[in-house]
Amino acid sequence: MTKKRLLLLVLALIVAAVGIPISAQSDPAQDNPNAQITWPPPVYVLRGEFEIRGSANVPNMANFFIEFRPLDEQLQPPAGREVWFPASLPNAAAVQDDVLAVWDTSVVPDGIYELRLTVNVTGGTAITDAVGPVRLENTPPPFAPVVLPTNTPVPQVVQPTTPPQPTAIPTEDPTPRVTISTPTGNVRQGDGTNYNIIVTLTQGTVLDIVGISTTGSGWYNVRLPNGSTGWVAPSIVTVSGNTGGLPRVQPPPPPATPVPTPVPFTATPTSSANLVAGIVVLEPATPTCGQTFNVGFDVANLGSTASSASGTVSLVDVRAADGSTQGTTIGGFPILSPGQTFRVVMPLTVSTWYNETHRITLIIDPSNAIPENNETDQQRVVEYVLQKGSCP
């Protein structure tokens, strides 16, 4: 029996022993085959970048997103930690029996969790579907058994009279590429819809990826057939190949916004959320080369209404001398009520340029997925000197 099957069996026996049902649907009244998670199933082990599959394709759908929360030994949310954390950004594109999101489990501690899909419907009630428990295991336990073969027969070597021709083994192309997944897709001059369109491509067009935006927007810098480059949104493409080594590319400055002629009017006050960047705390206060440290970042809602969804925080560590990127990560925060503050804790390891000043830039909701009445107070920048430690 393999380690994964043994772990699944033990977890299933624990669930049966305590009499707690395994959940695959958070609200039976909302059971909808077009708004559900079909993979992973309950009692499953996840690690690394994991594809969450299912469907999000209902009439008048505004968007959908995936969230997660930890469970205790009784497979219940720990007291005081019932909030859900984002596993993906809101996505407005319909999905039917395909990949809903790719969850990077390596930034989450190992343990037992529950997943939830939320589909927001314009003018209607949001539809949810939950799956749990699932186990995150990026670090296998040290006692995992290793089975060694015994009494392996020694194969008999037969010398052929004529050497056989080697059979070509097909290899997977690791080149990172995007494929236009919508009926048409716009390639723009920068990483946002406020940039001008360079060209509109049809569904199925394949382009090589040059890099990914340094702003945290998630947009890809791609090479066009004529040799020039442009930018595409992640929501209109599917990605293939090895994207682990993609460089960060600085997009051009945003185009100037035309100043309209002011027209006198009586403003109607509106109420909305306002996510504001708070204090930044490094633990330990003096990071050391090659050793993981935590970056704590306070996110506050100073608006008059709750935020519409959970959100993310992007973190970029650069060498202050030349602005070169030395480390990146993301964190998440739940839906925040008016006046509520939540501390996002993000682990980071930097192993380059010790005894020099580093600059950390943190941005709340970098893709502007959460509507706000003020988008200018979402960033914090802090500097520190990386200690040498045991780095060579």
For residue range 119-151, list pLDDT tens digits in order.
999 999 999 999 999 999 998 877 655 444 444
The partner residues of 39 in beta bridges, in order of sequence, read 53
What lies within 8 Å, CB to CB, of 211 at 6+ separation is: 220, 221, 246, 247, 248, 249
The model's pTM is 0.41
Range list of β-strands (E), 14-126: 35-39, 44-46, 49-56, 61-70, 85-86, 95-104, 111-121
pLDDT at 166: 66
Q: Give the integer Cα–Cα distance in Å for 270 and 304.
A: 9
Q: Give the integer Cα–Cα distance in Å for 199 and 99.
A: 27
The partner residues of 180 in beta bridges, in order of sequence, read 237
Residue 386 confidence (pLDDT) above 80: yes
Mean pLDDT check: name the lowest of 260-264, 279-283, 285-289, 368-372. 260-264
350: which 2 tokens? Answer: 């930097």
Residue 106 confidence (pLDDT) above 50: yes
| Mean predicted lDDT score pLDDT of the chain | 85
pLDDT at 239: 94
Q: Give the integer Cα–Cα distance in Å for 94 and 86.
A: 19
Q: How does pLDDT run across 316-338, given as a tens digit for each residue?
A: 999 999 999 999 999 999 999 99
Q: How does pLDDT run across 265-310, given as a tens digit for each residue?
A: 555 445 589 999 999 999 999 999 999 999 999 999 999 999 989 9
pLDDT at 36: 94
pLDDT at 161: 61
pLDDT at 156: 58
pLDDT at 148: 46
Q: How confident is the model at residue 255 (pLDDT cuts 50, 70, 90)?
A: confident
Count of beta carbons in the 10 Å neighbourhood of residue 126: 13
The partner residues of 106 in beta bridges, in order of sequence, read none
67: left (phi over 0), alpha (psi -120 to 50) or beta: beta
Q: Give the integer Cα–Cα distance in Å for 362 and 91.
A: 22
Q: Give the integer Cα–Cα distance in Å for 152 and 296.
A: 54
Q: Between residues 147 and 103, which one has the greater pLDDT? A: 103
- Report the DSSP pairing between strands 206-213 and 248-249: parallel
Q: Give the integer Cα–Cα distance in Å for 296 and 281.
A: 5
Measured in whole angstroms, the distance separating CA 105 from the mean position of its chain's CA atoms is: 9
% pLDDT > 90, the chain: 66
Alpha-helical segments (H) within the chain: 3-18
**Best CA proximity match to 209, nearest among 168, 174, 181:** 174
DSSP classification of residue 289: T
Tokens 């491509």 -> residue: 201
Domains of the chain as residue ranges with CATH: 3-136 (2.60.40), 177-240 (2.30.30.40), 275-385 (2.60.40.10)
Q: Give the integer Cα–Cα distance in Å for 287 and 92.
A: 39
**Best CA proximity match to 386, nearest among 327, 329, 314, 330:** 327
Mean pLDDT, to the nearest integer, of 174-202? Answer: 94
369: left (phi over 0), alpha (psi -120 to 50) or beta: alpha
Q: Give the integer Cα–Cα distance in Å for 254 and 271.
A: 28
Radius of gyration of the chain (CA): 24
pLDDT at 268: 47
Measured in whole angstroms, the distance separating CA 87 from the mean position of its chain's CA atoms is: 6
Element (H, E) at 280: strand 275-283
Mean pLDDT, to the nearest integer, of 52-68? Answer: 95
Count of beta carbons in the 10 Å neighbourhood of residue 192: 18
Q: Between residues 107 and 269, which one has the greater pLDDT? A: 107
Q: Give the integer Cα–Cα distance in Å for 339 and 304.
A: 8
